[in-house]
Amino acid sequence: MKKDHLRIASVNVNGLRAAYKNGMAAWLEPREVDILCLQEVRAPDAIVRQLLGDGWHILHAEAEAKGRAGVAIASREEPLATRNGIGDDYFATAGRWVEADFRLTDAAGERVQLTVASAYVHSGEAGTPKQDDKYRFLDAMCTRLPELTKHSDHALVVGDLNVAHTPLDIRNWKGNLKKAGFLPEERAYFDRFFGEDIGWHDVHRTMAGEMDGPYTWWSWRGKAFDNDAGWRIDYHMATPALAASAVSASWTALPPMTPASPTTHPL
């Protein structure tokens, strides 16, 4: 894969069939994406391949529970290797993590390996088994990210990680301190991801700087979308070497992104 710039997009499609019914194909076509990472696919493998169409190499981890979760990586170039799942067998059929290795040629003409993971972290619910699963998954990420750094110094984890890291990432942060998605215990994991412990970079935050947002998810309740009372819970997390090569990052609306349908979150 040799290009001046590589474009990697991440989208929680909230059901791939619904996304395509609402115009995702028209949204995707002009963006010239090289690697497309999807979360909440919620469709059988045959449907995923039918909707995406020709020209893609597709890695899809369908959740064992029908109609739940599901993640995928679709690439224009064939990957060197692929892996499904994270941690122990507990998440083997959860449809929440897939990885693919690619061979790139950098600006200096050197051959480098790029590893990309598409991740969908549990939304959780404070004080319930759902939250326990979320912490178990985040623990697995704490183990996997350093392994990926050793595997390839150009590694990227993208997706819906269902945690707003700092008050800059959520409009109403004071009102959500005790709610899943902004719990101190959850945010501490991201301190590790982006701190000295693990040392990865939050690409969008680096590009955006110290500003509110840009948000990627809004509640259905009230007028959250109208008032931009959103959350930034979708990430491009990169190793230092890869983050240093990033040239831009942006959020774009997936149709029909309107006050009546405000929950999709593409990066």
pLDDT band at 3 (very low <50, low <70, confident <90, very high): low
Q: Quick one: pLDDT at residue 259? A: 41
Are 118 and 159 contacting, i.e. CB atoms less than 8 angstroms apart? yes
Element (DSSP H or E) covering residue 105: strand 97-105
What does the alpha-carbon distance between residue 72 and residue 116 come to, in Å, rounded to a whole number? 11
In angstroms, the CA 125 to CA 5 distance is 39
Domain 121-249 CATH superfamily: Endonuclease/exonuclease/phosphatase (3.60.10.10)
Q: What is the pLDDT of residues 68-77, one digit of tens each?
A: 999 999 999 9
Cβ proximity of 192 and 142 under 8 Å: yes
Quote the mean pLDDT of the chain.
92
**pLDDT higher than 60, residue 2:** no
Of 19-23, 98-102, 218-222, 243-247, the one with minimum mean pLDDT is 218-222
pLDDT at 241: 95
pLDDT at position 265: 56
**What's the pLDDT at 203?**
97
What is the per-residue pLDDT for 108? 74
Task: Report pTM.
Answer: 0.93
pLDDT at 252: 79
Binding site as annotated, residues: 12, 40, 160, 162
pLDDT band at 225 (very low <50, low <70, confident <90, very high): confident
CA 169 to chain centre: 15
**Terminal CA-CA length for the chain:** 22
Mean pLDDT of 104-113: 81
User: What percent of the chain has a predicted confidence (pLDDT) above 70?
Assistant: 93
β-strands 217-218, 155-160 pairing: unpaired
Give the helix, strand, coil percentages of the chain, each rounded to 5.
30, 25, 50
Q: How many CB atoms lie within 10 A of CB 56?
A: 17
Q: How far apart are CA 35 and CA 51, in angstroms?
A: 16
Phi, psi of 59 (to 5 degrees): -115, 115
State residue 256's pLDDT score: 59
Annotated binding site for Mg(2+): 12, 40, 160, 162
Confidence of residue 263 (pLDDT cuts 50, 70, 90): very low
Enter the tokens of residue 159: 């997706």
CA 157/CA 147 separation, integer angstroms = 12
Q: Provide the H-helix boundaries in 67-183.
A: 129-151
